[in-house]
Structure 1
Amino acid sequence: MTYWFKMEWLILGESGMGKYTFLHLIAGLMKSKTGNVEIWKSGITMLVGKKLDVFSESNVGITK
């Protein structure tokens, strides 16, 4: 059995509040200097290379 569900988030804030940084952190495009980033109980901070690519393709999408 396969379940598909969709969550969409709207991130609002003033300029300089960290929206761009947040999106890049959860997409794995940027590494956190301190702490960990976890999505679906997966620590993406430690993923590198192909594993990070596969995770991002399956779990994260950024649109304009």
Structure 2
Amino acid sequence: MINLDGFDIIIGLDLLNKAKIALMPYLDGIMISSELVFIFIPCYKVLMKNNIKDIKSLVDR
């Protein structure tokens, strides 16, 4: 489950397999691959607070 702008999105394994997407919660990101290129997209939630410790990953662990 990925939290996207306040909404929880459930991504099925079939979609992840067809789109060649790998969730990498230990790196706080998503890896999208094709035959020629690998793309890593970092996922993080920015809070309107001064405390950096309150920033949490969007990818559930």
Structure 1 and Structure 2 fold alike (TM over 0.5) = no
Q: Identify, as 1 or 2, the structure richer in helix.
A: 1
Q: Identify, as 1 or 2, the structure richer in strand.
A: 2
Of structures 1 and 2, the one scoring higher in RCO (CA 8 A, sep 6+) is 2
TM-score (norm 2): 0.31
